[in-house]
Amino acid sequence: MRKWWAVALVTVLALGAWAQVRRGAWVDEVVFTEEPTRAKGIDMLIAGAIDIYAFAIPERDLVKKIIENLHYAVSYGSYNELTFNPYGPEFKDGRLNPFYLKEVREAVNWLIDRDYIVQEFYGGVGAVPRYLAITPSFPDYARLAATARALELKYAPNPEKAKAVIFEKMKELGAELKDGKWYYKGAPVVLKFLIRVEDERRLIGDYVATLFEKLGFEIERMYKTAREASPLWIGADPADGTFHVYTGGWVTTAISRDQGGNFDFFYTKRGRPDPLWQAYKPDPEFDQISERLARRDFKSIEERNALLARALELSMKDSVRVWCTNLVGYNPMAKNVRVAADLAGGVYGAWLWSRTVHFIDPAGKPVAGGKLRIAQPSMLTEPWNAIAGTNWIFDMMIIRGVSDYDTLPDPYTGLYYPQLVERAEVVVEAGLPVTKTLDWVDLKFVPKIEVPGDAWADWDPVNQRFITAAERFPGGTTAKTKVVAYFPANLYERLWHDGTKWSLADGLLGFILTFERGKPESAIYDEAAKSAFDTFMRHFKGLRILSEKPLVFEVYSDLWYLDAEWIAAARTPYLMPQYSQGVSPWHVLALGIQAEAAKELAFSSSKARRLGVEWMNYLAGPSLTILTKYLNENLATGYVPYANVLGKYVSKDEAIARYQALKKWYEAKGHLWVANGPLYVDVVKPVEKVVVLKNFEAFADPATKWLVFAEPKIAEVEVSAPAPVLRRGAPWDFLVEVTYKDQPYPVAEIDFVTYLLFDAEGNLVLSGKAEAVKDGLFAITIDAATTAKLPAGSIRLEVAVASKVVAIPSFATATFTVL
Amino acid sequence: MLENLRRVGIYVAVRGFLLFFTVVVAIWLVILIANMGGVMDKIIESQIREQVGLMFLNPDLQQLPEAMRRELYDRQVEILRRQYGLDRPFYERAARYLLNGITLNFGMAEKLTSDTGSKQVRLILVERLPHTLLLWGTGQLLLFFASVFFALILSRRYGSLADRLVVALAPTSAPPAWFYGILLILVFASLLKVLPYGGFVDAPPPPTRLGYVLSVLKHMILPVLAVFVNAIFASIYNWRTFFLIYSSEDYVELARAKGLPGRTLERRYILRPTLPPIVTNFTMSMIAVWMGGIITETVFSWPGLGRRLYEAIGQNDTPVIVGANVIYGYLLAISVFFLDILYAVLDPRVRVGAAGGQRL
């Protein structure tokens, strides 16, 4: 009896402690509204009418206001470049195209001054110079920092050199310079500049056009919007010469940890099937390296880095596009608000925003509770359904905020951390250059990975059963990777927002739908899903459940990444109810499956259009009438989709209980968006453009779980020469201080500190790695024998610090004289 | 009597047919302009290719053999071409747009969705209509009645301080309503913080009906004021000039000489003969309400039709553009049709079915 009392007491105490810990989100409520005017959004923030304006602002005037009045996080997802038409040397009509020659294109790198562009057109704050095909804020840049910095110095502005090269090559092409103007076959050489007008690219286009004008070219400036420019640069045959130069722009919404494919995409015919790409003629070595990088045809990280370094060099020589700027977006928020902002996607692209957003007190400590007001430039743009609904970034921000996932990406490195999953074993074929960084993944290499015959490898939509690996691959098969995903025992205790508990049926339905939507025999086949399905089937080899409670399963696949965390994160969702546009339990999706099978609604817009029915929306509108019709029917029948498989995990009574919970939810909230994240959708007013999210107090995780990601730990670096004048033949010692918010940066969080020495002409004369002395302090030691070989004169020391917890490398420079 | 009815009937039929024909021609022109005579197909196709080609930035797809990547690309392009109707020739689609439009069968939008997520053009327009009618209807009604009221007063006080003040302030209507909108927001929302920056209702919306209505009214103050302030002085000036012209007619002078009181003069000798143009003006301003105001609605984040139409034009969603214009065209035609008849009721000098200067 005493024992029971003790157990009861412990339970009560534990429950009390559980209740005291804040669960779900830090804030009680998040109210989303729409504000399409950016300037007004900033004004509202300053006036205290909202707490976050969910957009990455690049306009210099607004940026100035943000810096002066608000707190902000920066993101680097957009970049601009000059796209050249390389067809030639003559277009079909006989006009000359100087950019046919790679030397002329390469010279443009010396002609333009990227710092000038940044200072003049972006006020020195809205962008950073970009020289290379890889993004300066992504991990590959940090890995290749030495090569990158050397190339940036090599291609620093040098207008005289540019002029000399261009003039020499123009003469080679048969052009003549008369009275300061270039002529070809008696006619002036006219360069067609296709200049986008929506942003600073208009200024960049004008600037570059003027530079060419000064070199004696006649310029035809064609100012166009995206829509007007599209048929001229991407739709036209480059042989027609509709343009010579186009001011291109690209956007990335997530950190890419492997940008090796950029060369294949941006510089070779394989990049895209469009006519412009088919005119690309890269140097054979560059072409081969690009393909190898894209196909990950290398055996070690060292080999990859060497290929990448060479590709960077060759891409600058090719220069079918000359990179100009990487935009810096300012994600503004009130001074008393903190939230994780993805380095590429900003606040609205951060998967962790709802888990990290919080108010702070004057001392900077997190405050629990409060109502947070977020304005977005647009919202509720398209119908919400988890399978193929809205993909608008602003809608996805809300959807991700109310969803729970197996893993979540670190907004500053792009590496995945476990959320629902506990740990994973990643087994890869020996020889693949896969590495791991985080402890939740266990990485192993084996000579061969056999796929077990009883693993599920396909789906039969007619008989509604899984096809085993033995059936699909009668002779047996192997895979390049195997991931064993381990989930905690309390997975089944986790709740959906309508109060129902997580079930394996939720996860299995997701797996079944992967096949069902891609197979023509299925009632819910969608041709729009076929491409993704075909791609999936090329690498998917099998899935096997090893344990149901706790859930453990293994996935076999041929697709692999450089990071073991990425391989794991790609496989662990296979039995999770996660879809392209959110999460959804089986009983909610069942209504949509029934509606699509009956051709009354469709998950995807293209199928809806083909059937002449509504695109399915779980939030509002005519879809709800149809979906609730099935809800009411299912309440009576206890319908379970794909009962052959899911029936094993859901009884009729359990199904009815789920539908009852959903009915109750619908009656209370007026919509059918049931998810499982730290916030839930409480109110939706689609016409008024208001969405209210509330804290899901039954969420299993404490609010503190992801708080460490609320701010990027970008290192601050200082380096100085021991003396202004150093002597050759003597040892040199430099100290590098690395801090974050004036505190020493832990050595454990530093990937490497590398240094580069450049002579007065910008040539790289020495590079190496600094040694850690203690937290926040690194030493660069160059011995006497080495310094004796260095040239005399002005020397520049560049130090690059790559952190393990944030992808952006930090740089510091010191200049000294060598005698 | 029968002859008169026959003539009226013929007039009504001919007039109705001509107006209908005008609407058909107008819609056809809208379709041609919205699609640049078919050139837009090329632009949309390029944009589709531009968008689809981005999939090859995905490292997973870069691993696929080139032939398969090409197949995926072609398939995806074809799906989108079909989705936007590019698999059918432009003139075939244009004829369908026209037929659907004039039969008020607007069908599904190509790109836009309604706020509640529907692709039905009808819902895309209807969901926004009440908000637009509320804002612009209120603004135009206030503007119209206030203008006519003050103009009548001023027409009797020609040269007074108030009259000179209105004349002096008339140029203030040169800037558009949204300009005043921004000023009003700066003063009342940003500086004084007494009125909201915009939107239709508080967020989250008040749970009670009364609270909701009061919140909407609060949100209407600044946009209605912007519409009102923008046009009031020029409008008073116009009407006052109009009334002054009528006030100096011989029959008015005669009545005034006979010693009729001012009110009677206004009502019988000025307002009565000026009613047809007043009614016409009122009707036209009410029809104009249907189209909303693009920039003003954007400045106030007002969920109105103007913004919706702007989006439709920006995305070349022809069914939505046609739908909005068809409704506008029909409203205009019906109004003109009934105004013709109303004139005869209001003005004894006008006869329905009159032709060749003969009075029938």
Would the CB atoms of A34 and B301 count as touching at under 8 Å? yes
**Which of B126, B218, B301, B311 to probe by mutation at the A interface, max A CB count within 10 Å?**
B301
> CA of A104 to nearest chain B CA: how many angstroms apart?
27
User: B333 at the A interface (CB within 8 A)?
Assistant: no
Chain B partners within 8 Å of A294 (Cβ): 59, 62-63
Residue B230: what are its φ and ψ, rounded to 5°?
A: -60, -40
Alpha-carbon span A771 to A781, nearest angstrom: 8
Q: What is the pLDDT of residue A330?
A: 95
Q: How many CB pairs under 8 A join A and B?
A: 184
Q: What is the pLDDT of residue A323?
A: 97
Q: What is the pLDDT of residue B360?
A: 36
Domain spans of chain B?
Answer: 2-110, 129-303
Q: In this predicted model, what pLDDT tens digit does every residue of A14-28 receive, in sequence order?
A: 545 545 689 999 999
Distance from the Cα of residue A344 to its chain's centroid = 6
- Say if residue A458's pLDDT is above 70: yes
Q: In this predicted model, what pLDDT tens digit does every residue of A312-352 receive, in sequence order?
A: 999 999 999 999 999 999 999 999 999 999 988 999 999 99
What is the rounded average pLDDT for all residues in chain A?
93
A614-615 and A601-602 beta bridge pairing? parallel
- Say if residue B356's pLDDT is above 80: no
B269 vs A183: which has the higher pLDDT: A183
């070595």: which residue's tokens?
A: A285
What residues are paired with A564 via a beta bridge? none
The partner residue sitting opposite A686, judged by closest CB among B82, B115, B197, is: B115
Q: What is the pLDDT of residue A798?
A: 87
Residue in A closest to B194 by C-alpha: A49
Would the CB atoms of A383 and B193 count as touching at under 8 Å? no
Mean pLDDT of A287-316: 94
**Which of A28, A263, A272, A540 to probe by mutation at the B interface, max B CB count within 10 Å?**
A272
Q: What is the pLDDT of residue A3?
A: 55
Q: How many CB atoms lie within 10 A of CB B82?
A: 15
Q: What is the pLDDT of residue B350?
A: 64
- Say if residue B196's pLDDT is above 90: yes
Would the CB atoms of A47 and B190 count as touching at under 8 Å? yes
Residue B359 banded pLDDT, cuts 50, 70, 90 = very low
Which strand (E) or helix (H) includes residue A459?
A: strand A456-460
Q: What is the pLDDT of residue B353?
A: 56
Residue A47 banded pLDDT, cuts 50, 70, 90 = very high
Q: What is the DSSP string of A216-264?
A: T-EEEEEEE-HHHHHHHHTSS-GGG-S-SEEEEEEE--S--S--TTHHH
Would the CB atoms of A294 and B62 count as touching at under 8 Å? yes
The partner residue sitting opposite B49, judged by closest CB among A227, A235, A381, is: A235
Would the CB atoms of B114 and A621 count as touching at under 8 Å? yes
User: B50 at the A interface (CB within 8 A)?
Assistant: yes
Chain B partners within 8 Å of A686 (Cβ): 115-117
Residue B115 banded pLDDT, cuts 50, 70, 90 = very high
Q: In this predicted model, what pLDDT tens digit does every residue of A721-769 receive, in sequence order?
A: 888 888 988 899 999 999 998 899 999 999 889 898 888 777 788 888 8
Q: What is the pLDDT of residue B352?
A: 59
- Say if residue B357's pLDDT is above 50: no
Contacts of A675 (CB under 8 A, 6+ apart): A399, A402, A403, A404, A496, A497, A582, A583, A584, A681
Q: How many CB atoms lie within 10 A of CB B351?
A: 17
Chain B partners within 8 Å of A230 (Cβ): 43, 46-47, 50
Mean pLDDT of A485-489: 96
Q: In this predicted model, what pLDDT tens digit does every residue of A524-575 receive, in sequence order?
A: 999 989 888 999 999 999 999 999 999 999 999 999 999 999 999 999 999 9
Would the CB atoms of B116 and A621 count as touching at under 8 Å? yes
Residue A267: what are its φ and ψ, rounded to 5°?
A: -125, -10
Which strand (E) or helix (H) includes residue A446?
A: strand A441-446
Residue B289 banded pLDDT, cuts 50, 70, 90 = confident
Alpha-carbon span A568 to A546, nearest angstrom: 16
**Which of B74, B76, B119 to probe by mutation at the A interface, max A CB count within 10 Å?**
B119
Q: How far is CA A194 from CA A109, A184, A204, A322, A555, in A?
A: 19, 21, 11, 15, 49
Closest CA to A772 of A753, A798, A800, A799: A753
pTM of the predicted model over 0.80: yes
Q: In this predicted model, what pLDDT tens digit does every residue of B266-288 receive, in sequence order?
A: 888 888 888 888 888 888 888 87
Chain A partners within 8 Å of B53 (Cβ): 234, 272-274
Closest CA to A770 of A732, A807, A744, A804: A732
Structural domains in chain A plus CATH codes: 1-73+330-405+697-712 (no CATH), 78-327 (3.10.105.10), 419-492+507-575 (no CATH), 716-818 (2.60.40.10)
Q: Which CATH class is domain B129-303?
A: mainly alpha
Q: What is the pLDDT of residue B358?
A: 41
Q: What is the pLDDT of residue A16?
A: 52
Which of A88-102, A608-622, A689-703, B293-307 bottoms out in mean pLDDT, i.e. has the lowest?
B293-307
Would the CB atoms of A235 and B66 count as touching at under 8 Å? no
Q: What is the pLDDT of residue B348?
A: 66
Residue type, B109: A
Would the CB atoms of B79 and A528 count as touching at under 8 Å? yes
Token digits for A448? 């061969």
Token digits for A182? 């270039």
